[in-house]
Amino acid sequence: MDYTVPGGTRIGHVHLKVADLERSLGFYRDLLGFELMQRYGPDAAFISAGGYHHHIGLNTWYSKNGNPSPRNAAGLFHTAIVYPARKDLALILKRLLDAGYPITGASDHGVSEAIYLDDPDKNGVELYWDRPREQWPLDANGKLVMMTDPLDLKGLLQLLTP
C-alpha cells in the first residue's frame, strides 16, 4: 500500500546524548541563544526558541563524560535549525564569528542558505533560512534543482550594516 506523509507533518524536536550538560548548554543556550525551558534533574535539559516546550533535548543519561561518536559510524549527520529570515542567519553568523566559534562550512543550496558547525560533542549543526518557495530553482520540467554552491558570507553580513 502506498503512503505519503501528510504535508503538514513536521519534525518536532531533536534529543541529543551529550557528554557534559553544562558545556552543551553553553553552546545551545549561551552561544546560539535558545531558552532553557526546563531542567530534568541534573542530567537533562530542554531548550527552545520562542517559548515552545522544547526544540532540543539534551541529556547525559547514557553518555556522561563519553566520547563523540566516530565520524564514519551510523547516526545523526546534523541537526538543522531553521531561522525565520535571512537577517536572522546573518545575526547568528556574526555571533559565531565574534565568539571565534569554528564554522565547518557554508553553502547556498538554491532553496536555502546554510552555515555548518559542530557542537561540543561533534554533533553536526546546520543553521539556515529557506528562501521563499517561489524563488526555489526549478529545471525546465518544473522539478526542484538543489545545489551546493559557496555561500557569500560577506554579502550575508552586509544585511547587518545600516
36, 48 in Cβ contact below 8 A?
Answer: no
How high is the mean pLDDT of the chain? 96
Confidence of residue 141 (pLDDT cuts 50, 70, 90): very high
Q: Is residue 93 domain-resident?
A: yes
Q: Which residues pair with 114 in a beta bridge?
A: 107, 128
Q: pTM of the prediction?
A: 0.94
Mean pLDDT of 132-139: 97
Tell me the backbone φ, ψ of residue 58, rounded to 5 degrees. -125, 130
How many angstroms separate the CA atoms of 81 and 52, rounded? Answer: 14
How many angstroms separate the CA atoms of 36 and 43, rounded? Answer: 14
47 with 101, same domain: the answer is no
Domain coverage including residue 42: 11-65
89 with 60, same domain: the answer is no
84 with 39, same domain: the answer is no
97 with 154, same domain: the answer is yes
Counting the structural domains of the chain, the total is 2
Give the model's pLDDT for residue 77.
92
149, 107 in Cβ contact below 8 A?
Answer: yes
Mean pLDDT of 109-113: 98
| CATH number of the domain encompassing residue 125 | 3.10.180.10
162 with 87, same domain: the answer is yes
How many angstroms separate the CA atoms of 58 and 81, rounded? Answer: 15
Q: Is residue 36 domain-resident?
A: yes
Instruction: Please write the tens of the pLDDT for every residue from 1-57.
Output: 899 999 999 889 999 999 999 999 999 999 999 999 999 999 999 999 999 999 999
61 with 82, same domain: the answer is no
Vertex 113 angle, CA 130 and 149, to 5°: 135
84 with 51, same domain: the answer is no
Q: Is residue 34 domain-resident?
A: yes
Nearest residue to 153 (alpha-carbon basis) of 92, 106, 100:
106
115 with 140, same domain: the answer is yes
How many angstroms separate the CA atoms of 55 and 72, rounded? Answer: 26
